[in-house]
Amino acid sequence: METRMVGHKGKKTGDCSTFPFSEERALAIRMAAETTTRNPLSLEEIRSGKVILRELPGHPIVSWPIYVPPRDPRGVKTGSEFECWKKPQESKKGIPGYYFSLKRQDVLNCHSALEGRLLSFFDFCPFVLEARSQYPAWRREEYERYNREGWSFPKNKVLTVDFLLTLQVPGIPYNLYHAVSGKPFSLLHEERVETRHSKEISLVSQWSASHEVMHEFTVSDTEYSNYLFLNQLMLYTNVSDYCFNAYLFARNLMRSSAGGSLDRVVGMMGRRIGFSLDDSYRLFAVAIFLGYLEPDHRFKLDVDEPVFLLGRDKNKSAKSIRGHAL
């Protein structure tokens, strides 16, 4: 990999996407910035089928343990009874594998590292109650025709969607279902990809589910790093044991004007309610997982760095935390 200079012009040879100030990095920064400047959707827009996960309004709280109906409107099983339609080894591209989902408390089949990255986002998004990967979809009229004739429905007529999300949105008294396709940004405008997405939209819209395309810039590198950090804190953590104290921890933190490193602030808030530093970090992670706290993902979560939370002003006591008045 090298950059050769000819006069005042640079000629790139090889992959320069990781270079500082490269065009690719500039695009990544712009895409990440867009996620923090969008206006929330109205409930009318959402009811009409326009759903963009980053633009949903309100601040929902995840109730633990999470309850979802045993079957969705199409009759497909949910929770631990759901089986991914395709196994990881059926992936032709990407880095497939079994990725652990905190909300499922089990693994899901992902066909690429991008899907694993998006799953981390869904795990810490309080609007998402459940994410099911490799979700099977088919045309209802075709299935009914095969059923009437007594024929087995062929597998090649089943199309799989990368993720089917079960959503909770404040102000809407029922669950929404949201299909997500994860594709590299560079491939989005290829004809075969656009055709595929058109098919997915046609299938999921038959039962009033919405559809969204996500890519590697949907979750910035810093945000993904934060999710990995939080995942480590959640490892071997029984969420039920920490739910109530996570609320108290979040309330104290949002009211506090304490500054300094994450280590200092988390330790201080935990000691106030009788927890060690290790358990205080678990409370911090559970509070984010349930939606009581929301990190500002423009900044990296690091034990030696300041902590930045949305809605918190270090110089002024917060009046509420996510979903609850204090």
Distance in angstroms (rounded) separating the CA atoms of residues 126 and 124: 6
Q: Which CA distances in Å does 265 have to 204, 223, 252, 254, 286?
A: 45, 20, 11, 11, 16
Distance in angstroms (rounded) separating the CA atoms of residues 162 and 243: 31
For residue 65, is pLDDT > 60?
Answer: yes
Q: What's the Rg (C-alpha) of the chain? A: 22
CATH number of 238-325: 3.30.420, 1.10.10, 1.10.3470, 2.40.30? 1.10.10
The per-residue pLDDT for 4 is 41
For residue 8, is pLDDT > 70?
Answer: no
For residue 17, is pLDDT > 90?
Answer: no
What value does the mean pLDDT take over residues 29-56? Answer: 71
pLDDT band per the 50, 70, 90 thresholds, residue 182: very high
What value does the mean pLDDT take over residues 175-192? Answer: 94
The per-residue pLDDT for 86 is 85
Residue with tokens 């706290």: 293
Number of C-alpha atoms within 13 angstroms, CB side, residue 84?
23
**pLDDT tens for each residue of 97-147:** 889 999 999 999 898 999 999 999 999 999 999 999 999 988 777 777 877
The per-residue pLDDT for 16 is 52
Q: Report the mean per-residue pLDDT for the chain.
A: 84
The per-residue pLDDT for 10 is 46
CATH number of 29-214: 3.40.1350.10, 3.90.79.10, 3.30.110.40, 1.25.50.10? 3.40.1350.10
Alpha helices in the chain (DSSP H): 23-34, 43-47, 113-123, 140-149, 191-204, 221-234, 239-255, 262-272, 277-290
* Contact partners, residue 95, CB within 8 Å, separation at least 6: 112, 113, 116
The per-residue pLDDT for 48 is 75
For residue 317, is pLDDT > 50?
Answer: no
- Residue predicted with more confidence, 43 or 83: 83
For residue 299, is pLDDT > 90?
Answer: yes
* Contact partners, residue 154, CB within 8 Å, separation at least 6: 146
pLDDT band per the 50, 70, 90 thresholds, residue 312: confident
For residue 324, is pLDDT > 90?
Answer: no
What value does the mean pLDDT take over residues 232-252? Answer: 94
The per-residue pLDDT for 88 is 76
The per-residue pLDDT for 19 is 55
Question: What percentage of the chain has pLDDT greater than the value 90?
Answer: 62
Distance in angstroms (rounded) separating the CA atoms of residues 157 and 13: 43
Boundaries of every domain in the chain: 29-214, 238-325
Q: Judge whether 50 and 60 are in contact, CB under 8 Å.
A: no
For residue 195, is pLDDT > 90?
Answer: yes
The per-residue pLDDT for 14 is 52
For residue 319, is pLDDT > 50?
Answer: no
For residue 20, is pLDDT > 90?
Answer: no
The per-residue pLDDT for 192 is 95
pLDDT band per the 50, 70, 90 thresholds, residue 225: very high
What value does the mean pLDDT take over residues 257-282? Answer: 95
